Structure 1
Amino acid sequence: MAGLNPKALHVGFLLLVLLSADFATGCVITIRNRCSYSVTACAQSGSGPVSRYNVGAGGSQAMNFGSSCSWPDGIIFPSVGGQCTDRNLANIAEFTLGGFANSDYYDLSNINAYTIGLEIRPTQIAGGATPGGMRCGSPKCVINDIRGFCQPNNYIVQHPTGALTCVNRDGTAGVQGSAGTRQFKNACPSSYSYPDDGATSLYNCPTGTNYDVVFCP
């Protein structure tokens, strides 16, 4: 160990401890943009203020919920218009961190619409839980040909940028098992297509887990 500065070693050790503590605590959601273009990501808890992040192609944005590990009724969605006022024209990643039985609950929702591919991936799973099925699974929804996919009663909205959204007309109306909601369910079986679609769409994982929300997975 000759030639090493003891003070520098001490500082380095403290930094390692702090990093390890943060790693163990978890409760971080990282938004990752795998699209070839920038995406405006919007995040909100309940009726609270909306946080807006401009995430460049290949970029990421971390949301750290600290030691409380609490984020009730949280949503993350891509805003095609860039102002986070078009939630009804987007597919959504939904979270409740720190929910019932010391568990997080999360899902992907196409109840309103679909605009770009989304995936939720648990990364650092608290307590050593093994992913399987609805327990710490990774729901994913990618529809490559939106125009070809979107058939009545659903309909296309074309944005000024040229981006397309398929609006789930029956999903927003709460209609289950219609031809329109089945289009979404068949394309993305692990995502909500209408409000009571939780049996195959609602996932859970121990509180303290970290997650990635991936655009264009």
Structure 2
Amino acid sequence: MANSLWIQAVFLVAIISCEFASGCVVTVRNNCGYSVTACAQSGNQNIAQYNLGSGGSQGIDLGSACNWQAAAVYASVTGQCAVSGSPNAATDRNLANLAEFTIPGSGGNDFYDISNVNAYTIGLAIRPANGGCRSISCTIGDIRGFCQPNNVLQTLPSGALSCVNTDGTNGLGPTAGTMQFKNACPDAYSYNFDDATSTFTCGTGTDYEVVFCP
């Protein structure tokens, strides 16, 4: 009997230890009907590349500290996330829309957002596992029809399309060009300081899912 109780106690301690050791996970999922080259970078660290087939996914383990600062997940339009020989230099981040995270942020919360400040190229969603936190998404069905002046449509050698937000990073605030993006995706950043309607929070310790073609 005593031996049985000892085994149960050891098992319970092991479970508790595992629970405390577990951290946060950001799962990147490809719901598109085609393969996606997913890129993930925190700050100026090396860029991780995940080649996801249709329906594929990749978990990014943030460790027990749940720390992922100035992080972004996006789809490469060239099929290569980092410049050859420079693993922390992006090839085409400036042509992509981003799922952005600051984990943790402040006040016990994470910050997350979708940004079209650079461009738009693919439908994107962020879904917190915590049901009390808001899921956000941005999908533009007809990118050719959407991308009107002052914005610029680029067709990449891969065949991918990118609508470049020409005023997104110039510090001018709302313009006719950025309002095209804001009207299409009210929850997403359309210019650099579009914080009031575009930044969302969730308690630190939450898992997240980033979805292409939600």
Equivalent position to 1:32, from 22, 29, 34? 29
Q: Give the total of aligned pairs.
A: 197
For structure 2, the 5+ residue unaligned runs are 82-90
Q: Is the 1:25–1:208 Cα contact (8 Å) retained in structure 2?
A: no
Aligned mates of 1:19, 1:162 — CA distance in 2:
49
Matching residue of 1:110: 116
| 1:110-132 Cα distance to aligned partner (Å, 9 max, x none) | 00000000000001x2xxxx62x
| 1:113-152 Cα distance to aligned partner (Å, 9 max, x none) | 00000000001x2xxxx62xxxx21110000100000011
For structure 1, the 5+ residue unaligned runs are 1-5
| 1:154-190 Cα distance to aligned partner (Å, 9 max, x none) | 0100011222110000112222221100000000000
Is the helix fraction higher in 1 or 2? 1
Equivalent position to 1:21, from 6, 19, 22? 19
Q: Is the 2:23–2:65 Cα contact (8 Å) retained in structure 1?
A: no
Aligned mates of 2:200, 2:212 — CA distance in 1:
19
Aligned mates of 1:156, 1:90 — CA distance in 2:
12
**Identity of aligned pairs, percent?**
58
1:93 equivalenced with 2:99 (yes/no): yes
1:170 equivalenced with 2:167 (yes/no): yes
Aligned mates of 1:20, 1:138 — CA distance in 2:
28
The amino acid across from 2:80 in the alignment is Q
Matching residue of 1:53: 50
Relative distance call for 1:99 and 1:56 in structure 2 (3 A) is same
Matching residue of 1:3: none
Secondary structure at the aligned position of 2:196 is classed as helix
Secondary structure at the aligned position of 1:83 is classed as coil
Calculate the TM-score normalised by the size of structure 1. 0.85
The amino acid across from 2:124 in the alignment is L
Secondary structure at the aligned position of 1:107 is classed as strand
Relative distance call for 1:158 and 1:19 in structure 2 (3 A) is farther
The amino acid across from 1:114 in the alignment is Y
| 1:6-33 Cα distance to aligned partner (Å, 9 max, x none) | 9xx98xx68x9389727x9451100010
Superposed displacement of residue 62, structure 1: 0.1
Hey, which bits of structure 1, 4+ residues long, moved more than 6 A? none
RMSD over aligned CA atoms reads 2.1
Equivalent position to 1:188, from 185, 193, 196? 185
1:73 equivalenced with 2:86 (yes/no): no
Q: Is the 2:27–2:208 Cα contact (8 Å) retained in structure 1?
A: yes
Relative distance call for 1:118 and 1:206 in structure 2 (3 A) is same
Calculate the TM-score normalised by the size of structure 2. 0.86
